[in-house]
A and B are shown apart, each in its own frame.
Chain A
Amino acid sequence: MSLYVIGIGGTGAKCLEAIVQMAAIGLFSEQPIKLLFVDADESNGNLERARSSLNKYENCYQLMSGDKQQYGWLKTPIESNGLWSPFGNTSTNKSLASFFNYNSLKQNNPDVGNLFDVLYTEEERKANLDVGFRGRPAIGSAVMSRVDLDNLDEEPWNAIIGQIQQDVGGGRSTTKVLLCGSIFGGTGASGLPTISRLIANKLNRENIREKVKIACLFVLPYFGFAPTGGSNDRVYARSEQFLLNTEAALRYYVNQAKMFDSVYLLGNQNFSRYKFSIGKTSQRNETHFIELYAALAARHFLQNTSSRQTQVVLINREHKGKLVWNDLPQRDEVKKELVNATRFAYVWLSNIVPELEYARSQGVKKAPNNIPWFNKFYQRGGLPDFNDSNQQQAIETISDWCKDYLRWLYDIHNCDGDDIELFNYKYLALENFDGSQKGEELSNLVVSDRRDNQARGGDTVQKIQQGLLDINRNQNLTSPNQGTSGLAKALYMLCRI
């Protein structure tokens, strides 16, 4: 079964980022996930961050090739179809007027030109859309409605439809397509209905619609901001209009959401305050816990085999303004993997990396005297050379993933307006990993840890390091079981509680 996920706009990109993080910790299957980013603002900060996370995932995934069954980390192959922008073929002026040839429209077809004037103010017509659709669904809808999937001569749609046809033709079980984005902003709100309709129509024409499940994930308003003064640009997203936009969009979907087999709606009563940005790199909103739910919704869609048309699944929180483990769907499974990955990233950055740096300073001959697990993975009896550039690069690659994952998790806990009580997030802040900590807080990472005092007292990095000495013998570590990737795999397994 393949899952195609299309993230539309900044919120869509953030949802994809969350899916990448959750796939990394083993919450998805070993079936491939194929991602596509859709955004008119190609340098959007949210998009950049999501693509950077994906890049780190891919690097780490390649490094950790081998038997994934034994440990679960990075088991999902994620393929990226890159970024598609509705302005892909427009290299010059990216304004609504230019896109619709407004001047010639006024001359040759004055009625339509006048209608255009009624629908869009002069500022909206002239606004440069290389920053996205400026939180205006009306602008986005106009641009998106010009997308033509019929010809299929435009990448990456051509490739995606081809892949879906291949998946369906190959007799694989149901192929699934999930589109996610905000319902209240510009790109997501306008792109999601248009693109999903185009895909559904295309699959209908190819007679494969019945074999493909299409779902959408709408993120309802969950943040707000106050515009900063000083700019003459008056066409921008206004958070006070988000609820109004949402209300109108939901009315539309009551009748128009027929192409979806499943619909996910996510929202939060407490709006987080974000820094105002019109777009581009400065639009880099902090990660929000709602994105964790977005990833879990994608997981639900992938795992759900129910064919019932009218199934309604609800999930909410026990307490407004607070998120605890009990609030997560499939709590036990999700908690197990989140805790495992977080412990791994924490121990890797706070303890193993400083140990490897110490080994480098001591030299490979002397290092095993003080780091006895060192020659279980390096140097001895044909094991990889620690000083080899590939091994050093692998340490960097794994550290990059750990930092990115912990940054994402930290931001979720730090989100404005809600108390997130999953992990003691102050221990996950990246500034802690400067070598001053050696993993002392390992047993205190999880909030509401139900282990008894004895179990928590014995949960130390020392015990994990001792486990590294014997893991090959005790657990018959399959490939990768040597060098940096073997060390990371062993550590990941030992961090499981």
Chain B
Amino acid sequence: MKTSEIIRIILCIILGYVLMFYVQPLIYENGIIQLGLATAILKQVWFLDYYQGAWLVFAFSVIATIAWYVLAAKAKIKGGNDTSKWSVVWWLFLLLPVLSTLIAIVLFKDKSSFISLSGLYILDGVFLLYWLPTATSSPGLLRNIPPGSQLLRSLIGD
């Protein structure tokens, strides 16, 4: 485990948290994304559902990222054959943010915001909280398993 990798993961989680719990609510509150609901209903009901779903996606995505990192750091690997098997594990962990997003959407009562919420939850959970930290910070010989990680790590000079 490298300190730089752990720092990058923490930064991604903080970024995801700020986006999910501060920036995105502001987008809806200021009407940048129109929901067609009265302000009172928006504040009383809609945000309650939003935060519930956001916590679900956030928690599952962070768990998936940390679990991947810990397992990858402890993995016993002798060569490329072993490494390729771990790619299956990465895709399985991806199911956690995907499924949590689906559950959050299904549980959401206001079906009119389905499209925008799906987009934002997927952006947050799948990309920001799972793909980005794993692609920039997967440890050791599993560093290139997340798609796009080679390019991303060469861009950040790692």
Contacts and interface: CB of A to CB of B under 8 A. Distances in A.
A284 B77 CA distance: 41
A372 B144 contact: yes
A465 B81 contact: no
Given A358-B80, A371-B79, A440-B78, A462 B150 contact: no
A318 B81 CA distance: 46
Nearest to B140: A466
A462 B144 contact: no
A343 interface: no
A465 B77 CA distance: 10
B140 A370 contact: no
A372 B83 CA distance: 9
A462 B83 contact: no
A367 B77 contact: no
Band of interface residues on A: 20 to 34
Contacts of B141: 372, 462, 465-466, 469
Given A368-B144, A372-B141, A462 B76 contact: yes
B78 A351 contact: yes
B8 interface: no
A358 B140 contact: no
B80 A439 contact: no
**Interface SS of B by simple majority:** helix
Contacts, number: 52
Interface string B131-153: 00000000011011100001000
Interface in A355-373: 355, 358-359, 362, 367-372
Nearest to A381: B154
Contacts of A440: 78
B80 A371 contact: yes
A355 B145 contact: no
Provide the main secondary structure of the chain A interface: helix
Contact of B83 (A370, A438, A469): A370
B118 interface: no
A32 interface: no
Interface in B62-85: 76-81, 83-84
Given A368-B150, A370-B84, A354 B144 contact: no
Best-surrounded residue of B79, B81, B144 (most CB of chain A within 10 A) = B79
B79 A438 contact: yes
A348 to B, nearest CB: 13
Nearest to A375: B150
Contact of B79 (A354, A369, A380): A354
Contacts of A369: 83-84, 87, 144-145, 150
Contacts of A469: 140-141, 143
5 closest A-B pairs (Cβ-Cβ)?
A370-B80, A438-B78, A370-B83, A358-B80, A371-B80
20 contacts: A351-B79, A358-B79, A358-B81, A359-B80, A369-B83, A369-B144, A369-B145, A370-B81, A370-B84, A370-B144, A371-B79, A371-B83, A438-B79, A440-B78, A461-B79, A462-B78, A465-B79, A466-B140, A466-B141, A469-B140
Interface of B: 76-81, 83-84, 87, 140-141, 143-145, 150, 154
